[in-house]
Amino acid sequence: AGGAPGDGHSSTTTIEVNGVPHTLAVDNRRVLLDLLREDLGLTGAKKGCDQGQCGACTVLVDGRRVNSCLLPAVALDGSAVTTVEGLADGDEGTDGDGLHPLQRAFLDRDAFQCGYCTPGQICSALGAIGEAAAGHPSHVTDPGAPPGRPVPLTRDEIRERLSGNLCRCGAYPHIVEAVEDVLP
């Protein structure tokens, strides 16, 4: 309900975030990142450039990765958003930490220094793994590969698919290793 994005009005928007539905009056110009951080208190997704260039704000919308700094929240009415806060299941199970396996792998591989880009790296990597499994090619995928088949995530594929996520500390080699750790 409400006006078009950008007209300065609010729209009633229902978004599920980490499994919890939220119905909010959202200014049509408000981006998802600000809604998550300021309205819902979910500060895992970070504001780096605020221009769609660094990837620190990456979250998953219906399983697909997006730069949440660019996306008007009202466009997500009816969508399910997953942020880094929604990944750990808290089940201490066999690994004893309750973390998502990719979070565990980032710790095990020292895949960060300052950690600012880490939530975006992790969400982006999960999106990338899903895209490759669904057969979406990247710029480095062999053009002769059979269409629609899962694309194997080689190191080059991982690097290419995470190239939208910048790390000022230069932890890239360890990030790639962490992603390799969780591949099937």
Binding window for ligand FES (CB under 6 A); candidates: 7-15, 21-29, 52-60, 127-135: 52-60
* Burial profile 150-168: b = 16 or more Cβ within 10 angstroms, e = fewer: ebebeeebbbbbbebbbbe
- Between 17 and 31, CB nearer to ligand FES: 31
DSSP states of 33-89:
HHIIIIIS----S--SSSSSSS-TTEEEETTEEEETTTSBGGGGTT-EEE-GGGT--
- Between 55 and 127, CB nearer to ligand FES: 55
Binding-site residue total for ligand FES (CB under 6 A)?
12
Kind of pairing, strands 58-61 and 80-82?
A: antiparallel
Is residue 119 part of the contact set for ligand FES (CB under 6 A)? Answer: no
Q: Are 123 and 102 in contact (CB under 8 A)?
A: no
Is residue 159 part of the contact set for ligand FES (CB under 6 A)? Answer: no
Is residue 55 part of the contact set for ligand FES (CB under 6 A)? Answer: yes
Supply the minimum distance, in Å, between the C-beta of residue 139 and ligand FES: 19
Is residue 44 part of the contact set for ligand FES (CB under 6 A)? Answer: no
Is residue 86 part of the contact set for ligand FES (CB under 6 A)? Answer: no
What span, in angstroms and rounded, lies between the C-alpha atoms of 88 and 18?
A: 10
Is residue 48 part of the contact set for ligand FES (CB under 6 A)? Answer: yes
Distant-in-sequence, close-in-space partners of 181: CB < 8 Å, separation ≥ 6: 101, 105, 108, 109
- Between 52 and 137, CB nearer to ligand FES: 52
Annotate each residue in 62-81 with x if it binds ligand FES (CB under 6 A) or - if it does not, as one string: -----x-x------------
Residues found near ligand FES in the complex (CB under 6 A): 47-50, 52-57, 67, 69
